[in-house]
Amino acid sequence: MIFLLNYYKIIDVFSIGEILLAVFIFIAIHYWRINRNTPMTIWPIMGMLPSLIHNVSNFPDYINSLLQQNGGTIIFEGPWLTKMKIVFTSDSMNVQHITSTKFENYGKGNDFEEIFEVLGDGIFRSDFHIWKYNRTLLHSIFKQENFQVFLHKTIEKKIFSSLLVFLDHACKNGLQVDLQDIFHRLTFDNICSIVLGSDPLCLSIDLPEIECERAFTYADNTFFLRHVKPKFFWKLQKWLQIGDEKKFTENRKIVDQWLYSKIKSKKEMQGEQQFDLVSIILRQSIGDGKNPIDDENKFLRDTSINLLAAGRDTIGSALTWFFWLVATHPIVEAKILEEIKENLPSRKDNWKYLGVEVLNKLTYLHGTICEVLRLYPPLPFEHKSSLKSDVLPSGHKIKSNTKILYSLYSVGRMEKLWGEDCLEFKPERWISKKGGIIQVPSYKFIAFNAGPRTCLGKDISFIEIKMIAASILMNYQIQVVEDHPIIPSISVILHMRHGLKVNVKKRSI
């Protein structure tokens, strides 16, 4: 009886909730002690999610370390009852298997479609016949001579009318510049002009805040959070219209209204001879009865938003990492400059002019860009989902509807693929003894994806990056601000979290 009285007194002093909390803390400490020396702790109820959340601020390097320690493939399991299971891999044979050998078995999947719903039925989100139609159409346009000439002139015009003007202004006034922000503005202006035939003028001396460009920036963060949050949680936020999902919805409306207004304007100008992508599509037959398009406006909207996202974020990311690496490796910078001077045409003001013929001769610059993309691919992860059960070359069994993320970031840092110096920045690894570019299999150099989904814009990307990089390097010295932190951002795109702060000085000829 005395024992029972004491028991009830304890219950009075400590609530049931407090007792359960104490038990949970005891179990958590016990699991932590058992797993404290392992990189991915498996927690009761929560699975591996706490370890993932704890390391989310350094996600690419964290996953890379896990893959390096576990033979290139790991299986992540989330909280109980959430069905949150992800296979991470950087095994090049697995990548080749997924992207090429068994391509038909690995699509984007339902999870990807839900996370990136804003992309509609565009090329990056679609599968099967819709994807094939998108790819065939865009491939035919990219190969048209008129479009290629328009592309080069558009980029060249923007470099001379906006980029060099802004950098001259920064030089004269001794301004510290966030080069990442400048590249985002520049590439957004470029891709809008190329796709929509309309320049939003994000890059100008006063650096205006453009609503549609800001809306694109916000989307990156939401996409990443949807990957790490349990699906039921972010879907609940979306349904209740709270938190990140509410802001995402607001920004999506801004983008949609802007895109549809541009599409309407292009239709009204259909009689004029224009070579932007939307104008070319409108001149071609869309409703030929052999394609899956029901709504022309939606098709143009989906196509546009996919290309705008790719043309802004990936090129902007590549340029940012390029200038950080080149600015901190003066020998590489000197070699690029020497190569440009050797290949410039003999003409007045030639050091500011770069035509397609000259660009194709810049082998060392091309190798430098490849090396940047190897170490810092703009898309650090690619998302796939299995249709049927399968076995990967690594021996891992894959059930149907399994989410797979292969790490482009980690593939570029594997010692068995790139040698003991895999973490070093060495453009020379891309140059053959005869002075040409060494061709590397796409499942090894995977910055542009591999297999049937290899990036259609690969050649366009190299042209734009070379034009911008050469124009800046010939005109200016870029000096990274001392002690400026260089840390990847928490995003689906490999941006720099704190931007790239630099001082710009005029280069003497």
CA distance 468 to 159: 7
pLDDT given at position 11: 45
Same structural domain for residues 6 and 120?
Answer: no
Tell me the percentage of the chain whose pLDDT exceeds 70: 84
pLDDT at 394 over 80: yes
pLDDT given at position 75: 87
Same structural domain for residues 216 and 247?
Answer: yes
Domain of 466?
A: 38-506
pLDDT given at position 13: 45
pLDDT given at position 317: 97
pLDDT at 5 over 50: no
pLDDT given at position 49: 65
pLDDT given at position 372: 98
**pLDDT per residue over 137-149, tens digit each?**
999 999 999 999 9
Highest mean pLDDT among 34-38, 463-467, 488-492: 463-467
Provide the pairing of β-strand 390-391 with 397-398: antiparallel
Same structural domain for residues 170 and 215?
Answer: yes
pLDDT given at position 33: 52
Q: ∠417-428-63 over CA atoms, to 5°?
A: 35
Same structural domain for residues 132 and 32?
Answer: no
The CA distances from residue 463 to 109, 154, 361, 466, in Å, are 32, 12, 12, 5
Three-state secondary structure readout of 434-452: CCCECCCCCCCCCCCCCHH
Q: Which of 33-47, 85-99, 226-240, 313-327 has the lowest mean pLDDT?
A: 33-47
Q: How many domains does the chain have?
A: 2
**pLDDT per residue over 120-172, tens digit each?**
999 999 988 899 999 999 999 999 999 999 999 999 999 999 999 999 999 99
CA distance 359 to 467: 8
Rounded to two decimals, the pTM is 0.88
Q: What is the domain-level CATH number for residue 386?
A: 1.10.630.10
For residue 260, report the phi and psi dihedrals to the nearest 5 degrees. -65, -35
CA distance 295 to 460: 28
Highest mean pLDDT among 30-34, 344-348, 349-353: 344-348
Q: What's the pLDDT band for 4 if we cut at 50, 70, 90?
A: very low
**pLDDT per residue over 16-28, tens digit each?**
555 555 554 555 5
Q: What's the pLDDT band for 78 if we cut at 50, 70, 90?
A: low
**pLDDT per residue over 178-223, tens digit each?**
999 999 999 999 999 999 999 999 999 999 999 999 888 887 778 8
Average pLDDT over residues 410-435: 95
For the chain, give the mean pLDDT. Answer: 87
Amino acid type, 506: K
Q: What's the pLDDT band for 237 if we cut at 50, 70, 90?
A: very high
Same structural domain for residues 215 and 248?
Answer: yes
Q: Which of 13-22, 173-182, 237-246 has the lowest mean pLDDT?
A: 13-22
Tell me the percentage of the chain whose pLDDT exceeds 90: 67
Same structural domain for residues 324 and 312?
Answer: yes
Same structural domain for residues 30 and 46?
Answer: no
pLDDT at 9 over 80: no
Same structural domain for residues 187 and 302?
Answer: yes
Same structural domain for residues 102 and 167?
Answer: yes
**pLDDT per residue over 260-285, tens digit each?**
999 999 988 876 788 999 999 998 85
Same structural domain for residues 430 and 298?
Answer: yes
